[in-house]
Amino acid sequence: AMAEKAGYKHFMLKEIFEQPQAITNTVRGRINLETGEVVLPEITLGEEDLRAIERIYLVACGTSWHAALVAKYWIEKYAAIPVEVDIASEFRYRSLLVNERVLTLAISQSGETADTLAGIRRAARLGSKVITICNVVGSTMTREADGTIYTHAGPEIGVASTKAFIAQLAALFLFTLYLSQLKRSIPVEHRRRLGQHLIDSARVVQELLPKIREQIGTMIESFYQCRDFLFVGRGLNYPIALEGALKLKEISYIHAEGYAAGELKHGPIALIDKDMPVLAITPKDSVYQKTISNIEEIKARQGRLILIGTEGDTQLEKITEDVIYLPAVHEDLNPIIYTIPAQLLSYEIAVRRGCDVDQPRNLAKSVTVE
Binding site for ligand G6P (CB under 6 A): 61-64, 108-110, 113, 116, 159-161, 363, 365-367
Cβ proximity to ligand G6P, 61 vs 85, nearer residue: 61
Name the residue whose CB lies closest to ligand G6P.
Answer: 62
Least distance from ligand G6P to the Cβ atom of residue 141, Å: 8
Q: Which of 5, 77, 299, 365 is catalytic?
A: 365
365 is a catalytic site residue: yes
Cβ proximity to ligand G6P, 218 vs 362, nearer residue: 362
Least distance from ligand G6P to the Cβ atom of residue 219, Å: 25
> What's the rounded Cα separation, in Å, for the pair 121 and 192?
35
Least distance from ligand G6P to the Cβ atom of residue 251, Å: 10
> What's the rounded Cα separation, in Å, for the pair 217 and 321?
15
Least distance from ligand G6P to the Cβ atom of residue 288, Å: 30
Cβ proximity to ligand G6P, 160 vs 269, nearer residue: 160
Cβ proximity to ligand G6P, 109 vs 346, nearer residue: 109
Q: Which residues are catalytic?
A: 365
